[in-house]
Structure 1
Amino acid sequence: MVQLLILWGYIFAMNACIGTGVLKILEKCIYGWKNTSSSEQFAVSWTELAGVIAITVYAEIVSLFGAVGQIAHLLLLGLAAFFTLWCRTTIRKIAGKILRILFSWDGVLYLCLILLTALFASRGLQHTDTGIYHAQMIHWYEDYGVVKGLGNLQQHFAYNSSSLAYAAVFSMKWLVGQSLHGTNGFLQAFLVVWAVRGLRGFWRRKNHLADGCRLAILIYALVVSERIMSPATDFSSMYLVLWVICIWADLLTSDKNAELMQIHGYALLSVAAVFVATCKLSAGCLVILALYPFVKLLRRRQWKSIFIYIFCGVLVLAPWLIRNVLISGWLLYPFTALDLFHVDWKIPAEYVQHDSDQIKVWGRCLYDVARIDESPLSWFPVWWAEKRREEMMLLIGNVIALAGLALGGVYTVFVRRGNLPWDKMMLYVATLCSIAGWFLTAPFIRYGLAFLLLLPCMVIGEWIRPIRMGPVRIVSGFGCVGVFLCLGMFWDYYVLFNLVWIKQNVGSRYYMVQQDYDLPKVYPYEIEGGLTVYIPKQGENISYYAFPGDAYQSMAERVKMRGENIRDGFMMK
């Protein structure tokens, strides 16, 4: 725990320094370098989010040329030091604000929440996919960056979630001799404290849409705490979704007299939405949010701003796409529709399609690739029957919330003859499209959990506002009670689950250092070209230390080296 708390403090400081510097550069590019205004008004949530994005993109760019290790980290530290000097007034204010909060009565509560998160993040169970490929992928970042055709060795490597680049930056293996996995725990600790602090002003606000999003963050933390020590890409991507949508909802209630500043805020969040898509393609529909600030800036003829934000989006996307091509030979994996590159390390299309189909049928609980073409009417009963009771209640809550949202929209437009704010509409459209895309492709609950929590929580937040009572409000009120009861059963299950987990794990010895990766039993296997890889003797958990590893011998059997050195990469036989 102590090791993690030190790491989290360091991550927070690095995010703040890098994020503040990046935001100040953007500000100067948009308003001019001679402009005397500064980034002193940027909230901590903005600087932290900008820092996460910038550090991840930096790590991806570095990985194209070499290892994300000691040298890369020291260069990043030097950049952070430069930004600290350049933005010292802002950094000093951020530090002062944090210290005032910590040394207050509120700070006691926040410290307890951080310590509780550290308890979960320091020990426990590894996420299944961490054993299959997350840990190995971080090891590849640390030792080599990227090699051509890595996806041939094991196709899971081709998923290329950018969140693992962020995890590799702060693994600190070169410093402490152990690859730490604390970035997901940091995201949870920061966002839980941020959400709780945001809820302090609940009674002073008339609009509670953002409060609903904050509630969704807290519920999600309950769900994933047991395995939050894993660098699982699901956790980081879902937390980023919650983060972006919560800030967007908060902007909805900002001062309308500062509309242009609000639009720039939406544009920055659109860049963040592009970043979220690089963490998890299943969250790609969030990019729909970008339409609103684009149209607004277009109407204002803010050509310079449009170019800058598009450039930022391309800068976020480009290194991830380049890594995709280098790892798998495909621009977007596992989608065969974009067949643009013909390189010798390209994963054959039939393997890519099989992987894509397998993800879908497993998500639909069919477990047979031959059933990929079945319609939703055919597979839905099977899928529904496989859900646990609390998952069923969450899904029912979403159906009720959707009905309430539709009722409220119809009432506003056709009865009250009012207008629906476009920024709020885009928020709901992005959320609903994400849920629809999740359901029609690979409806694992964990793939879309952030959206499944956001919709009902936002609807509840919308209802809790001081408007005149009437028939529609009464009906929608009953609906909100139903949604609340459904969510109540969902979070009640995980509250009890986490209490049991604490009872079982509080006596573990990981109060100074973090529990290390698993050490499964493995055996060596020599692939064509003379390289020895390691295969798990049982199951598919290869974890971190057996490197280079492959969770499946069947995949190792069909691959060979492209040259004499591991840096030359891999290709199919």
Structure 2
Amino acid sequence: MLSVILIWLYVIVTTYLIGYGFINIMLAFSKRGRATQKGSEKAYRFHSHTGYIMSGVLISTVYAQIWSIFDKVELNCHIFLMFFACIFGVVYRDKMSEELRMLLRIIRSYKSRILYLVVFFLMAYGTSNGIMHYDSDLYHAQAIRWIEEYGVVKGLGNLHVRLAYNSAAFPLSALFSMKFLQLDRSYHVMAGFFALVLAWECVELKSIIRRGNIIISDFARLAAIYYLFGIFDEMVAPASDYFVATLVFYIVIKWLDLYVRREHSYVPYIFLTFLSVYATTIKLVAAPLMLVASIPIYRLLNNRTKHKLQVFYASILGALTIAVPFFVRNVIISGWLIYPATVIDLFNVPWKIPKGVAEYDALEIKTFGRGFSDVPNHAHMSFPEWFPKWFSELSSFNKMVIILDILAILIYVLLSVHYILIDSKERTVGDKKITEKIFDINMRSMLRTGDFFAIGGTMITCFLFWMASAPLIRYGIVFALLTAVVILGRVVILLINKFDKRKKEVFFKSFTAIVLLWLAFKGVNLVAEAEKRFNPDYLLKQQDYGVYEVKPYEVNGVTFYYPSEGDRVGYEPFPSSPENLSGKLQFIGGNPKDGFVKIK
């Protein structure tokens, strides 16, 4: 736990400084992007300290990916990272000090500061030990170690196809594994760090008591808290599922907060677009979330000016900067732009994973996600054939969530039809005719409706994309939860607004009491489960990857390892593969750094 805390403090300082610099550069370039209030113009101010951290994490990830293309991610990588962090710290020291003092005034109460610290130490403990994800010992650990030892390697997917499942989470994990310190293990703290940032964002739920009313982002925060309780004993593993789910929750919560504030500036939406592109590079299941880009695109191109066009093109360049290193790593590792998708076939490199292998791998992922293991017999089942079995094997809670999703989609469709047929028609107010449009965001009266349809439609698209690809519940529970809470939460708030003052007060008190009881119940269960696996050793050091018995084999005179039983090897036996590949694999050059090709 202590090791996790020390690494997190280093991560917080470096990412905050880098993120602060990035956001301020972005604001300086977008200085004409104004938040308009009552006809006057007011320069947009960035409101989120966790936003600075997540911006820094994004930049650090892109940086680590680019570095890995040319060299291994180790000490030299950190030296340059700290150099840039220090530069930003010096340049923005006065402004940053002012904002940090403002932050302390905001959380000036002793109880608030204690709450944030309790969350910090609680998440650090959860990250220090727990259940190591099966896939982490199967290939996550090895993927991270390859980045630590060599950077990106040509045809690495030929050694193990799972190593071709490139994720931006792995270079980030390698960056902050502290392997370069030559300690007794490679630390894996960044999945827990993403959970920490989300947990800090969820602490804002306490404002519900001060506000005296419920806002739609409260429902998203409750869903996120439920998810965090669920992964508390698993976030010790560097699984990309946890990275992307916590990041998606964070993005949607921030989006809903903008919705509540009726934010008119395009600047924060550009930031969320960058984060959604980042989420996609972690796991492709998040790709539909990039629909958030429709908001800044509309605002920049509607009544466009020369400056707005400059911001638009700069935003495209920023998104490409985030995405391109991910795609380059894909091609180097597998020969495919997006492995295992073979629709886009642009490269004919010697180390390319055979098309048939990639296609079978894609079918296996989809089949497994639907709850089957026999690919030849179940890969091409229709929806009515696979859905009943898939649904029957869900837990009771997850069944309820899917049912709520179906209900939410129906309500969304009905509201859309109602709006198109009735609300969007011209209506007369005095001598003026007003045409209400869903995305006429310049009309303050319609901003709330437009944002609801935008975010609701995005969540439904994410949910349907997950269901159509590989609907394993751990891949897409975030979309299932958010689709329900965003759409049904909106309906609940509309119903509450129809209550009289007394009924509103009764509902609010009842809701608050239920939430507090639920949090207490989940908290007691969490402590009880943590007590069962308590190990005092983990108060100092983080739990290591799993250890497995392995056997050696050779490729071009270099010793590799494979498991004596099963298919997992963990981190330490390196390099390794799930099976003996003697006579099936060879180096492109004279050593592993040169890459791998299959022997035909």
Verify same fold: TM over 0.5. Answer: yes
User: Cα–Cα, structure 1 residues 400 and 497, in superposed 2: closer, same or farther, change >3 Å?
Assistant: farther
> How far apart in 1 are the matches of 2:407 and 2:277?
30
Equivalence for 1:240: 247
Is 1:52 the counterpart of 2:78 in the alignment?
A: no
- 1:557 Cα offset (Å): 5.7
Partner-residue secondary structure (3-state), 1:509: helix
- Over residues 162-221 of structure 1, what are the superposed CA-to-partner deviations in whole Å (9 max), with x where a residue is unaligned? 011111111111126121111111111221122112541465276712222211211110
Equivalence for 1:108: 114
Equivalent pair of 1:24/1:39 in contact (CA under 8 Å): no
Match for 1:566: what amino acid? P
User: Cα–Cα, structure 1 residues 501 and 329, in superposed 2: closer, same or farther, change >3 Å?
Assistant: same
Match for 1:436: what amino acid? L
> How far apart in 2 are the matches of 1:199 and 1:429?
28
Equivalence for 1:276: 279
- 1:31 Cα offset (Å): 3.5
Equivalence for 1:267: 270
- 1:255 Cα offset (Å): 4.9
Is 1:393 the counterpart of 2:421 in the alignment?
A: no
Match for 2:273: what amino acid? S
User: Cα–Cα, structure 1 residues 393 and 49, in superposed 2: closer, same or farther, change >3 Å?
Assistant: same
> How far apart in 2 are the matches of 1:219 and 1:292?
29
Mapping of residues 108-507 of structure 1, within 5 Å: 108-175=114-181, 177=183, 178-201=185-208, 204=211, 208-256=215-263, 259=264, 261=265, 263-301=266-304, 302-370=308-376, 371-409=378-416, 420=438, 421-462=449-490, 463-464=492-493, 467-469=497-499, 498-507=526-535
User: Cα–Cα, structure 1 residues 205 and 71, in superposed 2: closer, same or farther, change >3 Å?
Assistant: farther
Match for 1:543: what amino acid? G
Equivalence for 2:95: 90
Equivalence for 2:83: 78
- 1:460 Cα offset (Å): 4.6
- 1:28 Cα offset (Å): 2.8
User: Cα–Cα, structure 1 residues 38 and 514, in superposed 2: closer, same or farther, change >3 Å?
Assistant: farther
> How far apart in 2 are the matches of 1:540 and 1:119?
29
Match for 1:341: what amino acid? F
**Stretch deviating more after TM superposition (423-432 or 152-161):** 423-432
User: Cα–Cα, structure 1 residues 399 and 494, in superposed 2: closer, same or farther, change >3 Å?
Assistant: farther
- Over residues 429-484 of structure 1, what are the superposed CA-to-partner deviations in whole Å (9 max), with x where a residue is unaligned? 111111101111100001111111112222353223552259xx99xx9xxx9xxx
- 1:67 Cα offset (Å): 0.7
User: Cα–Cα, structure 1 residues 310 and 501, in superposed 2: closer, same or farther, change >3 Å?
Assistant: same
Equivalent pair of 1:244/1:273 in contact (CA under 8 Å): yes
Match for 2:6: what amino acid? I
Equivalent pair of 2:201/2:250 in contact (CA under 8 Å): no
Match for 2:590: what amino acid? E
Aligned-pair identity (%):
30
Alignment root-mean-square deviation, CA: 2.9
- 1:558 Cα offset (Å): 2.9
Partner-residue secondary structure (3-state), 2:562: strand
TM-score (norm 1): 0.90
Q: Which runs of 5+ in 2 are unaligned?
A: 33-41, 425-435, 439-448
User: Cα–Cα, structure 1 residues 556 and 305, in superposed 2: closer, same or farther, change >3 Å?
Assistant: farther
Size of the aligned set, in residue pairs, is 553
Match for 1:30: what amino acid? S
- Over residues 24-67 of structure 1, what are the superposed CA-to-partner deviations in whole Å (9 max), with x where a residue is unaligned? 222233339xxxx9996442022112111100000000001001
> How far apart in 1 are the matches of 2:411 and 2:214?
17
> How far apart in 2 are the matches of 1:350 and 1:548?
25
Partner-residue secondary structure (3-state), 2:552: strand
TM-score (norm 2): 0.86
Larger radius of gyration: 2
> How far apart in 1 are the matches of 2:318 and 2:486?
29
> How far apart in 1 are the matches of 2:58 and 2:288?
18
Q: Which runs of 5+ in 1 are unaligned?
A: none
- Over residues 392-442 of structure 1, what are the superposed CA-to-partner deviations in whole Å (9 max), with x where a residue is unaligned? 222223223334444555556656667653333221111111110111110
User: Cα–Cα, structure 1 residues 362 and 493, in superposed 2: closer, same or farther, change >3 Å?
Assistant: farther
Equivalent pair of 2:456/2:487 in contact (CA under 8 Å): no
- Over residues 462-519 of structure 1, what are the superposed CA-to-partner deviations in whole Å (9 max), with x where a residue is unaligned? 223552259xx99xx9xxx9xxx9x99x999976763442121234421111112222
> How far apart in 2 are the matches of 1:300 and 1:38?
19
> How far apart in 2 are the matches of 1:547 and 1:97?
49
- 1:104 Cα offset (Å): 2.0
> How far apart in 1 are the matches of 2:338 and 2:209?
42
